[in-house]
Structure 1
């Protein structure tokens, strides 16, 4: 970038100019109708909207995406009136208010899914699998109509947000499926403003006291947070996307969050699996990268768990052992470790893990007929290349 500026001095090497009127019109129509022509009945409203978007591609795309599902003239006139009323404000305020106007037209379940992007740091590239599993764990939508898979419904909602230009596709797999996505910085700002106004999301950029009245807590700092209150009855998720290697996770006071559904920790130093975590019985999503030697995971109390991701640092070639009670966890859908060892085959009195869809890190010694019968609904299976520990039966008597 610096070389480009020097070489092109005194000109700007990357001049960013608004779109020309025809370019603005073509972009708007393409996003709203899938073609460059606008139906006659909408042309007057469309011209007012395009003119007031000031040639800004993001605004044009988002407003057009909102109107793509509106087919009555009254709805179009209402949006046109809202956009044209935003006068005598600076460019940033104009953009922010137009985006907020588009957000207000979203149905309630899409609003919640969109605002959830605020728990991630700005400009971050987000795994679609992770995002969908988090949405499901948070209960941000309901299954309606014919019986469908939760992941299918969530994927459909994500595509709705993409079609409305509120979410951008970052990477696709070879078969065309979306692997990662992200949102524009201005839309991320909107997420923070709207979610804070509704007491949904609390974001901390430094070590601070977490309030009790927010549903989602995201700590964008490597210093953790302080939870001084006795209980956090409204908090449903805690996200620590930055590593806190030097911080003792027990000091976070997670035992105060009795109704926690989501615990998403990037990296933490542990010497054993904390009992406080085992007692978070409402957990649906648990993800943690651990720096330490942990061989046994007493998670048998977490009967509501849907996603369990427990990754040891690559310097530790350890097979983690799952308790016998794992076979009671009928809600479990995704199980991922570097190397997993089941301490027992499924007892006859328990049903198979009928909702389990993906397993990674299964130890080769667990590739038996009995184990496979217990996880027979799995669609994706990864086998670990790590040998099983000599202490594999150490916890065999535990739940």
Structure 2
């Protein structure tokens, strides 16, 4: 989460220098401008660094994340203290000098910058990206596949009919949905074997070598000898081309992650107008549609019937499911949500375990955790999609895990949260909300996010995520201390844990006093509405910036609050200093009884206002504000008020 922490800190520094709080850091302005330059350097390094993780990169990212978080804490704590001093009309000289703390963290970031410079000078970044040899997997004839007969037939027809010109057919879908298994079934089909003169299969993977890719194809064609292996890349390319020339062939490129793969190999495949075909499997829509010779085949989730048949075939073979296990078995299958990978892993586990109702009930209630603890390969398959994400998308993707299982996520809400969490990289001439929607669309095109509802003009209104992917997000986010989910299935937060974001799905085992004392809480999202009142005190977290709940009691607002959603009522009269405490507010979503907030016209950072019980007063008159004064909320994008 190094990149996300850099983005957040840069947003903070730029906002502090350009807006209301500039006067609070005038003495440190030069330090902050210097820090901004260092952060931009580190951000550029991460943008250019390999997506594949390595020990060196992982270590650097961890140091960057910790230093950025520390700097953010120091600066926001300083601003919070100074604002409260102004309200109280006094200065607390006993506070540890802000300048000294800032110097220390700048020194730490500077040392990290020097390490990065050394890596770049030594060209170590290229060495970090190790090449993985394309492999030719053994025939997966034993792989279980139930259903999809129509899909297999459709692909066979597309391969053997149609244009005589060479065509590329891509099979696209999320990890674990069965792209490779389906393609292998077609590839090994007797009719396909007899139809094509030459067939070859190579698994490309994320970090491929063009030379190894050619060797893999030649090996699959039984054309690889020791002499051939010694040839140069151009000699290998010529050798492959000559072996395919004049023959009708089927080439399969499995697990393609980059359009450059096609750019590098398309010239190697002769087009003799004899009906030759190329197949690719990929998780990425842009890769699937890159060639444009024919439309991709989109994988679908299995139906409940297909899922049940696949499950029973693995667990019981030719024997039927015992009556006493059928109901819970169908619940297990339903919880796999039609993803073949999840069904195969769970069924494989249950086929070797004691077939009792008690154990099956436990598995049915804990599908994702059972898979995680019993099948490392499954999570490796899921994690590949995450590791391949560009840095600017990783934080936004993991953030999806903050919502409960099977949650219908409003895109409007998600966009507002991403903006408030400072997870977005600004783009000139685009609003942050537009950037957020582009990020979401990219995650959809990578088959990581599922579209639930679209508007009449095709915009995504709500989305969701498969439980297996969501569980990965939660585990990875908690490992990186990006956020913590508190629910009935997870242990409470240990003492001293520094969690910046807390998602409450259940108040069970949640020590709220510990949260306030030992956590640097920035965000609280409360989905346990039956016990919403238990988290009231979290609104008092001094560095809180995001608070989403059903209803809460408030005696003061946090200085850094950028997002508030829910009903609120005050434990005492509204303070006149409310304006000072809400100058950072971007999103205000309230369902209060009739209440008037005149200060709303001074909340200049407001982007989204949704009020269905509050009275919006008229803006202050020119006489009140000054003869030439015009009240303008420059950033306001959406507004709804019932009164």
The TM-score with structure 1 as length reference comes to: 0.64
Please report how far the alpha carbon of residue 333 of structure 1 lies from its aligned counterpart in structure 2 after TM superposition: 0.9
1:281 aligns with 2:572: no
Tell me, in whole angstroms, the C-alpha distance in 1 between the residues paired with 2:539 and 2:620. Answer: 31
Match of 2:383 among 100, 105, 120: 100
The aligned residue for residue 587 of structure 2 is 307
Larger Rg: 2
Instruction: Give 1:199's match in structure 2, choosing from 456, 462, 481.
Output: 481
1:49 to 236, 244, 254: 254
- Greater CA deviation, 292-301 or 351-360? 292-301
Name the CA distance, whole Å, in 1 between partners of 2:412 and 2:464. 13
The 1:23–1:163 alpha-carbon spacing in structure 2 relative to 1, beyond 3 Å, is: farther
8 Å CA contact 2:201–2:254 kept in 1: the answer is no
**Mapped pair 1:331 → 2:629:** no
CA distance in 2, matches of 1:24, 1:258: 59
Aligned mates of 1:258, 1:69 — CA distance in 2: 49
Secondary structure of the structure 1 residue equivalent to 2:438 = helix
Q: Structure 1 342/63 Cα, relative in aligned 2: closer, same or farther at 3 Å?
A: closer
One of 499, 510, 524 as aligned partner of 1:214: 499
Aligned to 1:174, the other structure's residue is in SS state coil
The whole-number CA distance in structure 2 between the counterparts of 1:258 and 1:61 is: 50
SS at structure 1 position matched to 2:599: helix
CA offset at residue 332 of structure 1? 0.4
Residue by residue over 1:271-325, the C-alpha shift from the partner in whole angstroms, topping out at 9 and shown as x without a partner, is xx5124x1x11111111146x799987653211111011114xxxxx32211x32
Alpha-carbon distance between aligned partners in 2 of 1:335 and 1:128, rounded to the nearest angstrom: 16
Whether the 8 Å CA contact 1:320–1:339 is kept in 2: the answer is: yes
Check 1:16–1:216 CA distance in 2 against 1; reply closer, same or farther (3 A cut). farther
Q: Residues 262 and 230 (structure 1 numbering): CA distance in 2 closer, same or farther, change over 3 Å?
A: closer
The alpha-carbon deviation at position 338 of structure 1 amounts to: 1.1
Q: Does 1:254 align with 2:501?
A: no
2:396 maps to which residue?
A: 113
Distance 1:101 1:321, change over 3 A: same
The answer for the alignment partner of 1:393 in structure 2 is none
Using the alignment, how far apart are the partners of 1:170 and 1:189 within structure 2?
Answer: 19
Question: Which residue pairs with 1:340 in the alignment?
Answer: 614
TM-align CA RMSD: 3.8
Give the SS at the match of 1:235: coil
Higher RCO, 1 or 2 (CA under 8 Å, sep at least 6)?
2
1:169/1:182 contact within 8 Å kept: yes
Structure-1 separation of matches of 2:388 and 2:170? 19
Alignment gaps of 5+ in structure 2: 1-144, 159-167, 174-182, 184-199, 205-251, 257-279, 292-343, 349-370
> How far apart are 1:64 and its partner, in Å?
3.9
Measure the CA separation in 2 of the matches of 1:332 and 1:354: 8
Alignment of 1:385-396 (within 5 A): none
Cα distance in structure 2, aligned partners of 1:340 and 1:254: 20
8 Å CA contact retained: 1:222, 1:243: no
Q: Could you say which residue in structure 1 is the equivalent of 2:523?
A: 237
Task: Determine the C-alpha separation between the residues in 1 that align with 2:613 and 2:516.
Answer: 37
Change (3 A) 1:118 1:134: same
Q: How many Å separate the matches in 2 of 1:61 and 1:240? A: 40
The equivalent of 2:547 in structure 1 is: 263
Structure 2 contact 616–641 (Cα < 8 Å) conserved? no
- Alignment-derived partner of residue 131 in structure 1: 414
Are the aligned partners of 1:319 and 1:341 in contact in 2 as well (CA < 8 Å)?
yes
Counterpart of 1:63 (choices 275, 283, 291) is: 283
| Partner Cα separation in structure 2 for residue 330 and residue 154 of structure 1 | 21
SS in 1 for 2:588: strand
Q: Measure the CA separation in 2 of the matches of 1:130 and 1:226.
A: 26
Q: Which residue of 2 aligns with 1:29?
A: 170
Counterpart in the other structure of 2:323: none
Q: Which residue of 1 aligns with 2:339?
A: none
Structure 1 pair 103–325 and aligned structure 2 pair: CA distance change class (3 A):
same
**By how many angstroms is 1:344 displaced?**
4.7
| Counterpart contact for 1:296–1:321, Cα < 8 Å | no
Counterpart of 1:386?
A: none
Query: 182, 185, 200: which is aligned to 2:467?
Result: 185
Residues 102 and 22 of structure 1: is their aligned pair in 2 closer, same or farther, counting only changes over 3 Å?
Answer: farther
Question: In structure 1, how many angstroms separate the alpha carbons of the residues matched to 2:451 and 2:421?
Answer: 23
Q: TM-score, normalised to structure 2's length? A: 0.41
- Alignment size in residue pairs: 301
Structure 1 CA distance for aligned equivalents of residues 642 and 481 of structure 2: 41
CA contact (8 A) 2:409 2:463 kept: yes
8 Å contact kept, 1:118–1:201: no
How far did 1:231 drift? 4.4
Once the two structures are TM-superposed, the CA of residue 327 in structure 1 deviates from its matched residue by 1.7
Q: Which runs of 5+ in 1 are unaligned?
A: 1-14, 37-41, 52-59, 72-88, 313-317, 364-399
Q: Using the alignment, how far apart are the partners of 2:411 and 2:285 within structure 1? A: 21
Kept in 2, the 8 Å contact 1:196–1:202? The answer is yes
Partner Cα separation in structure 2 for residue 281 and residue 61 of structure 1: 50
Distance 1:109 1:217 in 2: 22
Residue 217 of structure 1, CA deviation: 0.8
Question: 1:127: Cα distance to partner?
Answer: 0.1
